Amino acid sequence: MTDSEVYFTLLRVSAAQTLRSAGITAAKPSVVDAFTDLLARYLTLLGTTTRNFAESGGRTQAELIDARMAIEHVGLLRPMNIFTDPDDNDTEAVDALVEWFRGPQAADMRRVAGHAEKEGQVGKSDDWLGATKKLSEKRNTTV
């Protein structure tokens, strides 16, 4: 398998988990592939936009601020404040995003992905790849 195929296959697992947590149980493989492709392109878009913002700021390494601006640019943060007022402390968009991550949909996605959910702990989850590998081994050897 070439490198890109490996990455695509891994991403497909994640895409399938996302769809599963949304309630879809089965689909045609071409649909899953198309969805995975979308996911890949979206992530690439986020990445390139972040890089562009960083370079505009004269940096070669992207920082958090670049990522945030990219997320806003791409339209992930709603409502978007076009007229940035330095005194404006409106964090409604970011709050909405954080609330989503704490919300039931994200929790369900974590459950499907096999992450243990601890009470009150929201922050960083385990390394997804390591957890998926462990899960895959467990499921494939105990069958």
Partner 1 sequence: MSLWNGDTIKDVSESVGVANLNEDVAKNLAMDVEYRIHQVLQEALKFMRHARRTTLGTQDISNALRVLDVEPLYGYESARPLRFGEASLGQAQPIFYVEDDEVDFEKLINAPLPKVPRDVTFTGHWLAIEGVQPAIPQNPTPSEAARLSETTPKGASSNTTLSAASTLNPTTNETVTIKPLVKHVLSKELQLYFERISTSITDESTTDTIRNAALASLRKDPGLHQLLPYFVQFISEKTTHGLRSLFTLTQMMSLTHALLENDSFFIEPYVSSLIPPILTCLIGKHLGSSSSSSSSSSSDPHSQTPAHYALRDFSASLLKLVCKRFGDSSHTLKPRLTRTCLKHFLDPAKPLPTHYGSIIGLAAIGGREAVRVLILPNTKLYEKVIHPEIEDEGPRKSEAEMCLSALVGVIKQLEEEEEGGGWKGKNGVPPIMPGASAEEVKAQLIGILGELVGEEVWKLRREALVKAVIEAGGMKV
DSSP 28: -
> x-or-dash pattern for partner 1, window 70-109, by CB under 8 A?
----------------------------------------
41's tokens = 């392109």
10 binds partner 1 (CB under 8 A): yes
142 binds partner 1 (CB under 8 A): no
Q: Is there a contact between 47 and 67 (Cβ–Cβ < 8 Å)?
A: no
133's tokens = 């590998």
Of the chain, the end-to-end C-alpha distance in Å amounts to: 25
Please identify, among the stretches 23-31, 55-63, 68-76, 80-88, the one whose residues bind partner 1 according to the rule CB under 8 A: 23-31
Please give the angle made by the CA atoms of 63, 69 and 70, to the nearest 5 degrees.
Answer: 90
Site residues (CB under 8 A) for partner 1, limited to 30-59: 30-38, 40-41
CA dist 95 and 77 (Å) reads: 9
27 binds partner 1 (CB under 8 A): yes
Count of residues that interact with partner 1, criterion CB under 8 A = 39
**Comparison of 5 and 87: residue with beta carbon closer to partner 1:** 5
Task: Kindly give, in sequence order, each residue whose CB lies less than 8 Å from that of residue 22, ignoring residues fewer than 6 positions away.
Answer: 105
Interface residue with partner 1 among 76, 115, 123, 140 (CB under 8 A) is 140
6 binds partner 1 (CB under 8 A): yes
Which CB contacts under 8 angstroms, 24+ apart, belong to 54-59?
Answer: none
Residues that bind partner 1 (CB under 8 A): 1-6, 8-10, 12-13, 16-17, 19-20, 24-38, 40-41, 112, 132-133, 135-136, 139-140
